[in-house]
Structure formats: C-alpha cells, structure tokens
Structure 1
Amino acid sequence: MTTPQRVILASGSSIRAAILDGAEVPFGVIKPNVDEDEIKQQAQADGIDLEQTAMLLAEAKCMAVASREPGIVIGSDQIMEFEGRAYDKPKSMAEAKSRILETQGASHTLINAIAVARDGEIVWRNLDRPTLYMRSLTEHEVDIYLREAGPEILHSVGAYQIEKLGARLFDQIVGDHYAVLGLSLFPLLALLRRENILAY
C-alpha cells in the first residue's frame, strides 16, 4: 500500500481552509508569497481576459509553494466580474457600501480558478464561474448590513460573505456554492480521489 502524498493549501484564506476541513481532507497550509497586483497589471497590459488572469494567479500561488515543497499543492484565486469589469477586495467600508449599491438589483459572476501541482509540476486546473443575483436593496438596508456584518466583509471581493449575513443580500445563485466561497470542492475532491489522497 502506497503512502498518501502530503497535501498543502497554498493560501492564507480561512474559508478555503474551512472548506477542506469540512470535507475532512488532510492538509497543511503554507501562505504563498505572490505579488497579485503585479500579475493582474501585467495580464491587463498583455490583453489577457479575466478567466485566464484568475488562472495565472492560482498557478502563481500554487507554484510559489510547490517549487520548494513536495507533495500535492493547491492554489486558488477568485475574481469578481460585473458588467465586464474586474473588482478587487474593497479597501474600506465606504468602498464596500459603494460596491453593494452598484451591484444591487443585478447579477455578477465570480471566477474561481484552481491549480494543483504534484511534486513541483502543475498537473490539474479547474475553472468555475457561478452567477449571483443580488436583490434590490435600499441604502438603508445596506447600511444596516454593513453595521451588522462589520469589517470582516473586506476580506470578500464582493463585500459580502455568502456563508454568513451576506446570504440575505441575494435572491439566487446559479452554480457551485463552494466556488462562490472560493474553492470549487467537488472537482477537487475527484482529483484527490484519483491521486489516492482520499479513499472515497
């Protein structure tokens, strides 16, 4: 019987770690040292679309760890797209309010890219693009939400956390719920079964 390979999540994201924890995947965490802004700026200058940009970021995070650590390394990134524009995480509660007011009553997509390396070489990629339909909101409702949710939402690219109070902002989600959270779980679990990390 072969010994299962070590699994590393190349991310500082607590929600991605929680997703793997919930599925009882054995893993460790190493936060990658990657200049995301530089990658995004170069991709934009090169005319690379947002899906490819998300994958470039996932690959960079993956390889930043996989280049020096053996085993299976998982890198992931998420980009929010609304009306053809990409959005980064809001830097302030004022920006978060503006983001929600801009996207309320409309739909947007979250591009979730995953890259997985085995012993320093990328062996698998996955791209998901769920669509989220935000309900119509008044400014008063948004103010209440921001006050109750607090600055923790600044860790979310859309200025919401769908797994918490942010669920109240939406009418519908079409696509993988885990991709909305930041890590498409089901295709990743299938890969880990093929790699004999998981028995079932």
Structure 2
Amino acid sequence: MLQPVRHILDEVKIILASSSPRRSEILHSLGLKFDVIPSKYEENLNPKDFSDYGDFVMKTAYNKVIEVAERVPDNNSLSTVIIGSDTVVSFNGKIYGKPKDKGEAFTFLNELSGKVHTVYTGVVIKSPFEVTQFYTSTDVKMAHLEKDVIEAYIETKEPLDKAGAYGIQGIGGSLIEKVNGDYFTVMGLPVHETCKHLVEVCKRLKQQNELN
C-alpha cells in the first residue's frame, strides 16, 4: 500500500513517539526508516471522561505526540511526521492497562480468563500541516487459564509491560483462542489503517510542497 508514496516517505523524517518494541517492529516490517523518541507524557486521563474507549485512546495518543513534537527541533518542517499510539484492553466496563506488579497481572489474567474482551488502539499522525486521528477495536477470546498457567506466564515477565497483561505476539499468543478483527490492533499499531492514513498524509505533503 505504501509503495506508490515510498519516494515521499524516503524524504520524510518519521518519528515514533513510543518505546514499544512491538510498534517499532511493525514499522520496520513496513520498510520505514524512523527515529524513536519515547513520549514523556504522563498518562493521567480518566476514561470515564470520554464517551467511549476509542476517544480515550485517541486523546492519549494525541497527548503523547504533542509532547514529543514540543521537544523535536523544527517540528514544523515539511519533512517531519510523528506517529503515536495508545492501546487499552477493556472488559465488562473496566480498563486493563499495564499491570503495576505481578499481583495485578494475575488479577487481570484471571478476570479475562475464558472471556471475550475488546482491545482499542488509538493512532495519531502529526505532519506540519495537520493531525490525523483514528482508532480501531478488536475482540479477543482468551482461553480458560488454570492458576498454574497464569503464574508460570507471569514468571516470564512478558505480561508486566503489556496492556491487559499479555502479549499476543509473544508467549501470550498461546493463551488466545480467537481474534475477531485486526491482529495488529492487539499488537498496538493497526497496520492497514495506519498505512492508509500515511498515504493520505504523503499526498497532502506533496501538494503543499508543490505550492511552496
């Protein structure tokens, strides 16, 4: 999908406003060259202040991007595009972010065990001329997990930096029975939607460049 605008992307300075190795892996798989500047934004928004979790993750992603933009020299340059993302897991009206410790990771996995939960990922792409925002959601069915399985998984330490206390692209993938929607939404960066919006951003960057 990105091939028709590859020549534009090659001239763009792309910044990923995240330290997530999963998001870096996804961008690398698309053949993009980018710098990683993790956002220092303190994620303190209250999901109850939003009409739905999609708006919540979009706003969090937006704040991450703006915080990075304020620290990047010449962030209004034509060649700078900043990508930020935020992911949460929700079930039964509750948000499951990254667990604070092993105990909370156990609680999360125990509550999600055998249930269908929803993963929301919000993405923000900031160019010098516009800010593009969107979110996607995916339903995930987790297998029924015995206590010893949960405890053993937690000991791998994989759950401790993952929303919902599991990583679908890693060992945690063995805990998932079914995914109904975009797998990459669960990983933390929906590939198709991100590429679709990047194409539009590139077209508008080209138009603005031709006008200048």
TM-score range for the pair, normalised by the shorter chain length: 0.7 to 0.9
- Measured in 1, the distance between the counterparts of 2:17 and 2:159 equals 22
Match of 2:125 among 105, 116, 123: 116
Q: How far has the Cα of 1:153 moved from its partner?
A: 1.8
Any conservation in 2 of the 1:63–1:120 contact (CA below 8 Å)? no
In structure 2, what is the Cα distance between the partners aligned to 1:9 and 1:171?
31
| Alpha-carbon shift at residue 120 of structure 1 (Å) | 6.4
Structure 2: distance between partners of 1:189 and 1:85:
30
**Residue in 1 aligned with 2:102?**
93
Q: State the SS of the aligned residue for 2:169.
A: coil
Quote the Cα distance in structure 1 between the aligned partners of 2:195 and 2:176.
27
Describe the superposition over 1:12-31 as per-residue Cα deviations: whole angstroms up to 9, x where unpaired.
11111111011111111111
User: Is 1:78–1:112's contact at 8 Å kept on the other side of the alignment?
Assistant: yes
Cα distance in 2, alignment partners of residues 78 and 52 from structure 1: 11
Aligned to 1:34: 41
Deviations 1:71-114 (A, max 9, x none): 11111101111101112210111211111111101011111000
Contact 1:110 1:129 in 2 (8 A): yes
- Residue 54 (1) aligns with residue 57 (2): yes
Residue pair 2:88, 2:164 contacting (<8 A) in 1 also: no
Q: Which residue of 2 aligns with 1:180?
A: 186
Corresponding position of 2:90:
81
Please say if 1:11 is aligned against 2:11: no
1:193 deviates by: 3.0
Q: Which one-letter code corresponds to 1:165 in the other structure?
A: I
Structure 2 distance, partners of 1:186, 1:178, is 9
For 2:50 and 2:197, the matched residues in 1 are separated by 31
1:145 aligned onto 2:153: yes
Say if 1:35 and 1:29 are closer, same or farther in 2 by CA, change over 3 A. Answer: same
Instruction: Give the SS at the match of 1:163.
Output: coil
Give TM-score, length-normalised by structure 1: 0.87
**How many residues align structurally?**
189
The unaligned stretches of length 5 or more in structure 1 are none
Distance 1:65 1:133, change over 3 A: same
Partner of 1:163: 169
Structure 1 runs (4+) deviating above 4 angstroms are none
Instruction: Report the TM-score when normalising by structure 2.
Output: 0.82
Identify the range of structure 1 (65-74 vs 175-184) with the bigger mean alpha-carbon deviation: 65-74
Q: CA deviation at 1:48?
A: 4.3
8 Å contact 2:153–2:159 — kept in the other structure?
no
Any gaps of 5 or more consecutive residues in structure 2?
Answer: 1-6, 204-212
The verdict on how the C-alpha distance between 1:27 and 1:47 changes in structure 2, with shifts beyond 3 A counting, is: closer
Helix, strand or coil at the partner of 1:36: coil
Q: Rate the CA distance shift 1:178–1:47 in 2: closer, same or farther, 3 A.
A: closer
> Which digits, 9 at most, give the CA deviation of each residue in 1:34-86, with x for residues without a partner?
1112xx13x53x45432211111011111122344241111110111110111
Q: Contact between 1:66 and 1:118, CA under 8 Å: does it hold in 2? A: no
